[in-house]
């Protein structure tokens, strides 16, 4: 039986991927990688083996990958040395005898000139290194997360409205949970070797559309209010985000407004065997307690 390891086991995507794998794969053949295994006690309680490992500790990665055939490489955090970390994982996996790596770059249009700082170029680096490694690979490209909409729009939007830089572009968001389930499908089924999937959601929405959905959820009008980039960053900083983080969020908003992630491929639906969660469904579930 193939032993599967998921990195970033204490983060959202890694933890959720492992929980979906529990429904599809023998627990004895599942491994989570964590910098601090104590933070993965919930996974260990389910019987998942948790190994210690850090992307910057190459020899530790080689030890952690011993006996593993498939690795889910969860992307390293932005504003770190992502290239070194990801290269360490690829090289250590190859040295340890891993056969297949699944990686989650951001969706990118073939002819796009849009660059998301700390993401686009680093993702392209990993894709190139994977394809040159001789390992089997699967690329499961991600759209922006539905879970991040609140961060983009602001936590008090039901009271103050949706204050966003103007733009008519849309994004086919997907929830972290749907993406994690798709990862579990790819990791637990044959036939995904050396393939690339774009896991866009089922329906693309603009920020004005989100304001309309929130109006329906809350039962009161939530206005869309166009603001300058400077005012948008100031609002995020007033909510506690440091300026570099606010600028990073703005870069995602620019991508949405440019229509960078508006395409719909159907790949996510095919892998899940059902329709992905829609923005309306996700926001209704998230803000149901705020309905009047």
155 and 102 together in one domain? no
Nearest of 46, 53, 48 to residue 7 by alpha carbon: 53
Cα(162)–Cα(164) distance, integer angstroms? 6
Domain that holds residue 207: 148-170+202-262+278-290
pLDDT at position 290 over 60:
no
Report the share of the chain in percent with pLDDT over 70: 98
pLDDT at position 155 over 80:
no
Q: How sure is the predictor about 286, in pLDDT bands with cuts at 50, 70 and 90? A: confident
The sign of the dihedral angle between the CA atoms of 265, 120, 116, 36 is positive
Tokens of 127: 């894709």
Q: What is the pLDDT of residue 292?
A: 42
pLDDT tens for each residue of 197-247: 999 998 899 999 999 999 998 888 999 999 999 999 999 999 899 999 999
DSSP bridge pairs for 100: 70, 136
Cα(139)–Cα(170) distance, integer angstroms? 23
15 and 134 together in one domain? yes
Position 209 in a domain: yes
98 and 132 together in one domain? yes
Position 137 in a domain: yes
31 and 137 together in one domain? yes
Q: What is the pLDDT of residue 89?
A: 98
Tokens of 69: 């055939």
> Are 66 and 96 spatial neighbours (Cβ–Cβ below 8 Å)?
yes
Q: What is the pLDDT of residue 111?
A: 87
Please report, for the domain that includes residue 207, its CATH number: 3.90.25.10
153 and 88 together in one domain? no
19 and 89 together in one domain? yes
Mean pLDDT over 87-93 rounds to 98
Mean pLDDT over 81-110 rounds to 97
Domain count, the chain: 2
pLDDT at position 78 over 50:
yes
90 and 160 together in one domain? no
Q: What is the pLDDT of residue 288?
A: 65
Mean pLDDT over 8-25 rounds to 97
Mean pLDDT over 160-171 rounds to 93
> Are 8 and 53 spatial neighbours (Cβ–Cβ below 8 Å)?
no
Given the structure tokens 């089997």, which residue do they identify?
136
Q: What is the pLDDT of residue 149?
A: 94
131 and 43 together in one domain? yes
Q: Round the average pLDDT of the chain to a whole number and report it.
A: 94
159 and 234 together in one domain? yes
Tokens of 177: 């949970």
């Amino acid at each position: 039986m193939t032993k599967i390891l998921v990195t970033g086991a204490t983060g959202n995507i890694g933890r959720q991927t492992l929980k979906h794998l529990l429904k599809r794969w023998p627990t004895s053949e599942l491994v989570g990688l964590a910098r601090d295994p104590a933070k993965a006690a919930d996974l260990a309680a389910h019987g998942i083996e948790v190994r210690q490992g850090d992307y910057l500790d190459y020899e530790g990665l080689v030890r952690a990958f011993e006996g593993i055939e498939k690795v889910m490489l969860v992307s390293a955090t932005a504003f770190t040395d992502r290239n070194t970390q990801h290269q360490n994982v690829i090289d250590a996996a190859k040295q340890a005898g891993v056969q297949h790596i699944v990686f989650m770059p951001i969706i990118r249009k073939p002819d796009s000139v849009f660059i998301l700082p700390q993401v686009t170029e680093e993702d392209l680096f990993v894709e190139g290194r994977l394809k040159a490694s001789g390992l089997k690979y699967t690329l499961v490209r991600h759209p922006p997360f539905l879970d991040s909409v609140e961060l983009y729009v602001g936590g008090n939007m039901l009271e103050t409205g949706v204050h966003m830089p103007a733009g008519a572009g849309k994004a086919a968001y997907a929830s972290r949970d749907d993406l994690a389930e798709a990862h579990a499908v790819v990791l637990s089924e044959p036939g995904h070797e050396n393939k690339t999937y774009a896991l866009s959601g089922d329906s693309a929405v603009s920020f004005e559309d989100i304001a309309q959905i929130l109006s329906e959820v809350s039962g009161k009008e939530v206005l869309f209010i166009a603001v300058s980039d400077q005012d948008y960053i100031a609002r995020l900083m007033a909510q506690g985000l440091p300026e570099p983080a606010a600028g990073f969020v703005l870069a995602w908003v620019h991508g949405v407004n440019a229509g960078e992630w508006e395409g719909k491929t159907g790949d996510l639906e095919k892998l899940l065997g059902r329709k992905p969660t829609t923005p309306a469904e996700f926001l209704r579930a998230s803000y149901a307690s705020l309905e009047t």
